[in-house]
């Protein structure tokens, strides 16, 4: 019956009877019994300790250098590393900045206990972790470059292909040199204020001071309830122009609360998650001949972004896209 079912792959008749006898006598495992053989001389505790010592001394040493230092074969060294010590070689992770202990602590407190930090550090904000109106008072802003031409994404260049057809190809192109810097502030109701930086100028404390003055006028016109109660909270990153002494003094003189931003935090960037990506996606793959055309099309793209796309991202609590 076994030969009919499995053909040549079946065990011989003699082997079947042999295993039947073993199981009848009480055997419960099919694995082979341990056999006595020549003892291993390359994976002795002494040599394992030597390899462990080399690992701790130099984390970048190669397996071949391990073998030469310990006086064992290449294969035995790999066996010690993988099977006995359980170590593996991993590529380094690229990070924007190496944060100090204090910076990590500040980021942890701000992102995990975001509402509590606002209550403690902001200027007399009577907010609790259950305050549903808190996020409605946050106005967040940032700057970004808008290019005369920026190549479309791979998703935008996707095509329907039949079976056995090759994948579509897309040539990587650098953004054009014609560009203009856009500054945008928005809250849960949408865009509050936007403006384009003057050509040839850079974002400095003086220029940002002018932006904040114009932002205040926009809030007075578009968000009168926040203006009258002076309850709006400004959120921006830690760029030098944003944290300059004259900017801090200006905000303090006008009793403007500032949402704390941890150092080098990529999580608390609502503009990147909920505005700039959607804005630039509408402009990618299109060519604009002048700065004025870039400005006109950028304004159209901002107006075309649905309100619900920005209202859910005024201030993410440390989770991308959330």
User: pLDDT exceeding 90 applies to what percent of the chain?
Assistant: 23
Q: What is the pLDDT of residues 146-169, one digit of tens each?
A: 999 888 888 778 877 777 778 888
**Residue 271 to residue 313: CA distance in whole angstroms:** 8
Q: Average pLDDT, whole number, for the chain?
A: 79
pLDDT at 42: 65
Q: Which of 243, 268, 231 lies closest to 113 in space, CA to CA? A: 268
Do residues 109 and 318 make contact, with C-beta atoms less than 8 angstroms apart? no
pLDDT at 94: 67
pLDDT at 126: 42
Strands 179-187 and 138-147 turn out to be antiparallel
- According to DSSP, residue 237 is labeled -
Question: CA 99, 101, 107, 110: dihedral to nearest 10 degrees?
Answer: -160
pLDDT at 132: 55
Q: How many CA atoms lie within 13 A of 276 on its CB side?
A: 18
Q: Which two tokens stand for residue 96?
A: 């924007």
pTM of the predicted protein model: 0.59
Kindly indicate the confidence band of residue 317, based on its pLDDT and cuts at 50, 70 and 90. Answer: very low
């Amino acid at each position: 019956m076994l030969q009919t079912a499995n053909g040549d792959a079946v065990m011989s008749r003699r082997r079947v009877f042999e295993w039947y006898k073993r199981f009848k006598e009480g055997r419960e495992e099919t694995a082979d019994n341990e056999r006595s053989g020549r003892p291993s001389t390359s994976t002795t505790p002494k040599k394992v300790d030597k390899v462990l010592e080399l690992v701790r001394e130099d984390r970048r040493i190669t397996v071949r250098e391990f073998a030469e230092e310990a006086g064992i074969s290449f294969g035995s060294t790999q066996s010690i590393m993988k099977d006995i010590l359980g170590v593996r070689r991993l590529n380094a992770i690229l990070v924007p900045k190496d944060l100090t202990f204090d910076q990590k602590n500040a980021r942890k407190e701000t992102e995990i206990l975001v509402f509590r930090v606002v209550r403690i550090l902001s200027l007399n904000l009577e907010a609790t972790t259950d305050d549903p109106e808190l996020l409605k008072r946050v106005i967040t802003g940032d700057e970004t470059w808008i290019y005369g031409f920026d190549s479309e994404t791979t998703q935008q260049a996707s095509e329907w292909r039949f079976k056995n057809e090759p994948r579509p190809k897309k040539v990587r192109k650098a953004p054009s040199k014609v560009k203009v810097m856009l500054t945008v502030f928005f809250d849960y109701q949408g865009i509050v204020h936007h403006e384009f930086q003057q050509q040839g100028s850079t974002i400095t404390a003086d220029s940002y001071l002018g932006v904040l003055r114009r932002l205040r006028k926009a809030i007075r016109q578009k968000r009168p309830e926040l203006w009258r109660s002076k309850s709006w909270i400004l959120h921006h990153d830690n760029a030098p122009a944003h944290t300059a002494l004259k900017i801090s003094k200006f905000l303090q003189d006008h009793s403007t609360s500032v949402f704390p931003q941890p150092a080098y935090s990529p999580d608390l960037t609502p503009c990147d998650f909920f505005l700039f990506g959607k804005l630039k996606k509408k402009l990618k793959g299109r060519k604009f001949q002048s700065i004025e055309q870039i400005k006109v099309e950028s304004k159209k793209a901002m107006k075309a972004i649905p309100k619900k796309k920005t209202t859910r991202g005024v201030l993410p609590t440390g989770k991308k896209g959330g």
